[in-house]
Amino acid sequence: MNKQILTLALCIGLCLAVGFAGSSFTPEPGSWYYTTLNKPEWNPPDWLFPPVWTILFIMMGTALAKVLGAGWEKKEVKIGVALFAVQIILNLGWSASFFGMQSPLAGLIVIALLWIFIVLTILAFSKVSKPPALLLVPYLAWVSFASFLNFTILQLNP
């Protein structure tokens, strides 16, 4: 198998695996915790989250594979991959905090850190190549929206 295709498949697989792990914290339909939270009228429908996150995780994996393809020996690749690793751990940490710990406050703290590390990852990836950095922009946009949603839920549930 072509090394680039294998790297792409492994990177996408890794991101999807993290997404799947995060989904283990999300509520089942009818879950008392999530259904009892006050949410804003503009809260997206539950069915929207899985396809959006799947697309974002595929884009994240593709971006990671493109950066790795530039050569692991390069310092900027190592920095970008390290920042990517931190942000993907924080991504999982948000689900664990917001849903697992049932804490919108902990979720807000984690998602703020996640946002910062996504920005840092985009900046680091752009030093390697612009296309992988651009692949993370929709992810940053979605997490920006999710951050505001998390903040609003915290305000509605004192």
- In CATH, the number for domain 3-156 is 1.20.1260.100
Sort residue 18 into left (φ over 0), alpha (ψ -120 to 50) or beta.
alpha
Count the neighbouring beta carbons within 10 Å of the beta carbon of residue 77: 20
With contact defined as beta carbons under 8 Å apart, do 100 and 129 qualify?
no
12-26, 32-46, 51-65: which is most confident: 51-65
Domain spans, the chain: 3-156
pTM above 0.85, yes or no: yes
pLDDT for 28 equals 63
Alpha carbon distance 142, 87 (integer Å): 14
DSSP 53-110: HHHHHHHHHHHHHHHHTT-TTSHHHHHHHHHHHHHHHHHHHHHIIIIIS--HHHHHHH
pLDDT band at residue 31 using 50, 70 and 90 as cut-offs? low
The predicted pLDDT at position 1 comes to 64
Q: What is the pLDDT of residues 98-147, one digit of tens each?
A: 998 999 999 999 999 999 999 999 999 999 999 999 999 999 999 999 99
* Cα separations in angstroms, 130 against 5, 12, 66, 98, 123: 20, 19, 10, 32, 9
